[in-house]
Amino acid sequence: MKIVTFFGISVMSTALAASLAFAAPAGYLQIDDTKVEVEGKGEKKALELEVKTEQAIPVDGKSGAFGYAALTDGTNNVLVLVTHLPIDDSSYEKMDSGFHAHVLDLKKPSAACEGATFEVDIENSKKNTAFDANYEWKIEGKEIEVEGIPVVDLGDAGVETVASFALKPILDKENKPTNLCVTVVEQN
């Protein structure tokens, strides 16, 4: 298991370190390998991302809220492939698995997300035209791949790191998310 520092923010606090020492993350959140390719030029420049994990990635929609992220511009313009049923915030969500893509902005966790690594900046993320993205992706066993992402959607930045994460949604009375707490599990 890796303990990592993520952009100067320590993933490990005393409480988190104690809990991680007793429980290893699920194998589908442990990253074995990543591959990032950028092809094309100018407006046609597109990114492809592959993430290989230690165990098969669950696609039954019953494994909780989790995903994989490519950080491309610090904590802005973060590409994520995520599942978080029953929240419906995508026009392109695969109904069985709940997986879909977003381009999000992250921020320092608020009090509602105490102990998380980041929090999704819901307000600013929804302003991004790539928030509800219809990128081509697939999951096969231990591998998840997304391709054809216009680099302009990612702030024309290169991928700085790839991470797996757990997501804890805080919901209001109508089951709409008020906060989305992101805890980085592993990065590569």
Q: Mind listing the pLDDT tens digit for each residue in 130-139?
A: 998 899 999 9
Number of C-beta neighbours around residue 19 at 10 A? 10
- Tell the burial category of 5 from Cβ atoms under 10 Å away from its Cβ (0-12, 13-18, 19+): exposed
Query: Which has the higher per-residue pLDDT, 61 or 184?
Result: 184
Q: How confident is the model at residue 23 (pLDDT cuts 50, 70, 90)?
A: low
Is pLDDT at 49 greater than 80 in this prediction? yes
The DSSP code for 150 is: E
Task: Give the confidence band of 93 by pLDDT, cuts at 50, 70, 90.
Answer: confident
Q: How far apart are CA 99 and CA 96, in angstroms?
A: 8
Angle (nearest 5°) at CA 121 between 94 and 73: 90
Q: Write out pLDDT tens, residues 105-117.
A: 999 999 999 999 9
